[in-house]
Structure 1
């Protein structure tokens, strides 16, 4: 596998790991103050789209089906397979548990000392005032989702990049 595939996959896996750790930190008491400003979200998505799209392009250029991709993934070192699997599993677990806790509310905000959330319950859609404790629960859930979803996508980009590298290595080996 070429160094660019390793660099691409390593960068994506590292960013995904960092975001999943931040998502896990939202379970600790208190809120993360990273999401108070808009720059973390902008930085996450500014990095996510080029890395993820480039990984997808690399896989599409290999013209491999799911079976070939799975075989190429199985050719990766065992520690890499386990690490990617653990990251995906932890991300999916974070998202699943996060979605169960707060119900049909999201987008916590504070205006003039009062706490509001957006209720997505059918026939009751709209902004409602809530207590501070419910506001903090929704805020933590929003932060968890804000970090976990891109984290899982970064791990997916690592999978695609490393798999494409193995497919490329196999193609080059077949021609020698």
Structure 2
């Protein structure tokens, strides 16, 4: 496999692990970290995850292989790599499911700052769901709102790594067959 595929897949896997670590820091009992009030940590994780994913799709389509060949290429990766990527994907999905289940019982969700006011959405009412909060209520609700925003790039990064490493295996196989 060419080094660019390994670098691309490795960067996506590291970004996925970092996003999941940040999502893990948002669970109750961890304390309110000042890291989660500003939006820059989400931007630093989401934008590179999205760009890496787009680049992986371009690399995947450039191979011209069908899904079964891509799955076989993924199966040719070392077992530790497959397990690591699977663990990242399963952990991301578990964080999203647990966040959705825990959030289903909460009345207030999706805390944000709008025009200098702290606002959340009240799921118990049908009209005008926006509710103004105090700063303390906002800070208490913010980690659960950020958790999902970190778990999604975690899953996107794991998928990116799997796609690009499989594309690298396909490219390597094409290079070997071209030499023969």
Q: How far off its partner does 1:110 sit?
A: 6.9
Unaligned 5+ segments in structure 2 are none
Figure out how many residues of one structure are paired with residues of the other and give that number.
Answer: 174
| 8 Å contact kept, 1:9–1:159 | yes
Q: Deviations over 1:76-97 (max 9, x none)?
A: 0000000000010000000000
Q: 1:36 to 1:138 in 2, by over 3 A?
A: closer
| 8 Å contact kept, 1:102–1:138 | no
Q: How far off its partner does 1:151 sit?
A: 1.2
Residue 12 of structure 1 is matched in structure 2 by 12
| 8 Å contact kept, 1:99–1:141 | no
Q: How far off its partner does 1:44 sit?
A: 2.0
Q: 1:119 to 1:162 in 2, by over 3 A?
A: same
Question: Which piece of structure 1 moves more, 52-61 or 127-136?
Answer: 127-136
Indicate which of 162, 165, 177 corresponds to 1:174: 177
Distance 1:21 1:151 in 2: 9
| 8 Å contact kept, 1:26–1:144 | yes
TM-score calculated relative to the size of structure 1 = 0.86
Within 5 A, what are the aligned runs for 1:129-168? 129=132, 138-168=141-171
Within 5 A, what are the aligned runs for 1:3-42? 3-29=3-29, 30-42=31-43
Q: How far off its partner does 1:133 sit?
A: 8.6
Residue 109 of structure 2 is matched in structure 1 by 106
Q: How far off its partner does 1:3 sit?
A: 0.4
Question: Which piece of structure 1 moves more, 101-110 or 39-48?
Answer: 101-110
RMSD: 2.5
Q: How far off its partner does 1:34 sit?
A: 1.8
